Structure 1
Amino acid sequence: MTQPTVLLLTPMLPVTRAALDDRFDLVALADAEDKEARLAKVADRVRAIAMFADGRVDGALMNRLPKLEIVSVFGVGYDGVDAAEAARRGILVTNTPDVLTDEVADTAMALTIMTVRRLGAAERYLRAGQWTAKGPFPLTPGSLVGATMGILGLGRIGRAVAARASAFGLKIAYHGRSRQDVPYAYYDSPAALAEASDILMIATPGGAETRHLVDADVLKALGSRGYLVNIGRGSTVDETALAAALEAGTIAGAGLDVFAEEPQVPEALLGRDDVVLLPHVASASLPTRTAMGQLMVDNLSAWFESGRVLTPVPETPRP
């Protein structure tokens, strides 16, 4: 029996790529010196796309793949896929929720502590010999004790962050598209949530609906004692407004694991001790990334074996 042809659009973990190669006729576009030539050669037989979350699948690519049935994304975010267009064409889109929730929530709390207590700057102070030369590291203006964390986006990851933050003794508030049956205070706008929060945690998906959801007005509402932490999507924050708010002292600091144009990070953020910057590592442990890859592969296998998938995204049909 001929194996279905799967187009590997982006580089992938070796263990995940091996699993794809074992089950499918895998065409690795990322490896090709002449990507256009390789795509043209296989376009009429491609039935699936496998891709890391930073890949791009739009209507133009779908037009070139007449037999495309499914796009399986490695990651929770799938804003690189035009899911609405895929749905219009009857093409399924899947992602990899749940298996990374705990890892990302753990990183969110670590990033929060690093940001509020300026632990990155403290480590650099020690390594530079400043402890012995200048004495103790300056007292940090912020603390988690008695603080309120406002969570922007109370989905799977947002709820997991809330559980951890509650265990730390933080009060929890949230904003989302709708009120949920949870024991946390609800605010009807990002600005209202920011005004009520000491720490504003972003856990929203990306895409046009959330682009620059955190803008200058929201940062002003967060205030000079407030901290912004983003483990969602870089596009949610107006980075120009953020840099200006930090420079002016409008907010106290920021912790960012994601950026609008990765791997590019705004130059205005790089030299600041009131900002903690991570290179999009919230889910980046080998066990978690292996589990994510396996779920991506399992979605493809389930589709070709049974005509069903395990984790379809909401926009596309669920067989």
Structure 2
Amino acid sequence: MTKPQILQVGPYPEWDQGPLDQAFTMHRLFAASDKAAFLATVGPQVRAIATRGELGANAAMIAACPLLEVISVYGVGYDAVDLAACRARGIRVTNTPDVLTNDVADLGVAMMLMQARGMLGAERWVRDGSWAAKGLYPLQRKVWGRRAGILGLGRIGQAVATRLAGFGMDIAYGGPRPKDVPWDYIADPVALATRSDFLFVTLAASPATRHTVGRDVIAALGPEGMLINISRASNIDEAALLDALETGALGSAALDVFDGEPALNPRFLALPNVLLQPHHASGTIETRKAMGQLLRDNLTAHFAGQPLRTPVL
């Protein structure tokens, strides 16, 4: 029986690549020197696209695959997939939620702790001899008992809140509607930022959420506040963020995502008040294996005529 042909947009770990190659005919777009020519050649045979959250599948890619039936996303975010093009042709879309929730929440909270307590600078203070030569490290700020805002209380936002509750923090959240949770609901992002010492961005990205965290929200968070983003870069006005960090209008930031990553704006590299991470919130062996398994399970279910495990569309 002929194996279904799949367009693979980006690389996966070998523990995923091996089973994919065994079950399907994989066409590696990322390895092609002339991607347009490659897509024109293999696109007419492709029945599925396997992609990553940050790579997605745009309208041109979808149009180049007239037999396309399903797009399986490795990641929880699917904002880079042209959903309108998929709806117009009845193409199914899946992602890999839940399996990465706790790792993403862990990293967000860890970034808050590292930045608030100055842990990277403190480690350098020990290594470069400053402790012995200059004495105690400059005092930092406490975390426990302070005010945290969570912008977007989905799976990841709730996991962050649960962790922060363990620090005895005063928690509030924002989003389109209140939920049955023990934390205060504040619909307006500016008002949420105003009452927050730490503002976590855990929004699902969409055109509607683009630049939700703009100059007004950043100004409301203020020179003592910290912004932590473990969602998508598009949720924050990056130019406004850089301006505020450079002038001290915002105290600090901890970021796992950036516009144009991995080629992030070089202004970030000169800032002492921002913690930079390489978009690896889900980057544990256990979670990445679970993500790959779920991606494959969705593809297998589709071609077996079974219900999709985690459909988006």
TM-score by length of 1: 0.94
Distance 2:41 2:34 in 1: 11
Amino acid in the other structure paired with 2:87: A
Aligned to 1:304: 303
| Helix, strand or coil at the partner of 1:301 | helix
Aligned to 1:234: 233
Aligned to 1:182: 181
Residue 272 and residue 133 in structure 1: after superposition, are their counterparts in 2 closer, same or farther (change >3 A)? farther
Comparing 51-60 with 218-227, which one deviates more in the overlay?
Answer: 51-60
Aligned to 1:266: 265
RMSD (CA atoms): 1.3
Comparing 51-60 with 4-13, which one deviates more in the overlay?
Answer: 51-60
| Helix, strand or coil at the partner of 1:7 | strand
Distance 1:56 1:103 in 2: 22
Amino acid in the other structure paired with 2:143: L
Residue 147 and residue 66 in structure 1: after superposition, are their counterparts in 2 closer, same or farther (change >3 A)? same
Distance 2:244 2:175 in 1: 24
Give the drift of 1:307: 4.1
Distance 1:39 1:238 in 2: 33
| Helix, strand or coil at the partner of 1:287 | helix
Amino acid in the other structure paired with 2:124: R
Residue-by-residue CA offset, 1:54-112 (whole Å, 9 max, x unaligned): 22412222221110000000000111101122122100111000000111111111011
Structure 1 residues without counterparts, runs of 5 or longer: none
Amino acid in the other structure paired with 1:106: D
Aligned to 1:210: 209
Comparing 303-312 with 126-135, which one deviates more in the overlay?
Answer: 126-135
2:145/2:167 contact within 8 Å kept: no
Aligned to 2:114: 114
2:246/2:271 contact within 8 Å kept: no
Amino acid in the other structure paired with 1:107: L
Matches within 5 A, 1:249-260: 249-260=248-259
Residue-by-residue CA offset, 1:182-226 (whole Å, 9 max, x unaligned): 111011111010011110000112232222111111011112221
Distance 1:244 1:38 in 2: 42
Amino acid in the other structure paired with 1:258: V
Distance 1:244 1:168 in 2: 31
Matches within 5 A, 1:48-63: 48-63=48-63
Greater relative CO, 1 or 2 (CA 8 Å, sep 6+)? 1
Aligned to 1:221: 220
Matches within 5 A, 1:271-282: 271-282=270-281
| Helix, strand or coil at the partner of 2:47 | strand
1:94 aligns with 2:128: no
How many residues align? The count is 313
Aligned to 1:293: 292
Amino acid in the other structure paired with 2:169: L
| Helix, strand or coil at the partner of 1:306 | coil
TM-score by length of 2: 0.96
| Helix, strand or coil at the partner of 1:44 | helix
Identical amino acids, percent of aligned pairs:
47
Give the drift of 1:270: 1.6
Aligned to 1:4: 4
Amino acid in the other structure paired with 2:136: P
Structure 2 residues without counterparts, runs of 5 or longer: none
Distance 1:214 1:113 in 2: 22
Distance 1:205 1:128 in 2: 41
Distance 2:241 2:89 in 1: 39
Aligned to 2:79: 79
Give the drift of 1:38: 2.6
Distance 2:135 2:221 in 1: 32
| Helix, strand or coil at the partner of 2:26 | strand
Distance 1:34 1:145 in 2: 53
Distance 2:144 2:290 in 1: 35
Amino acid in the other structure paired with 1:14: E
Runs of 4+ aligned structure 1 residues displaced above 4 Å come to: none
1:5/1:26 contact within 8 Å kept: yes
Distance 2:306 2:85 in 1: 20
Aligned to 1:125: 125
Amino acid in the other structure paired with 2:50: A
1:239/1:266 contact within 8 Å kept: no
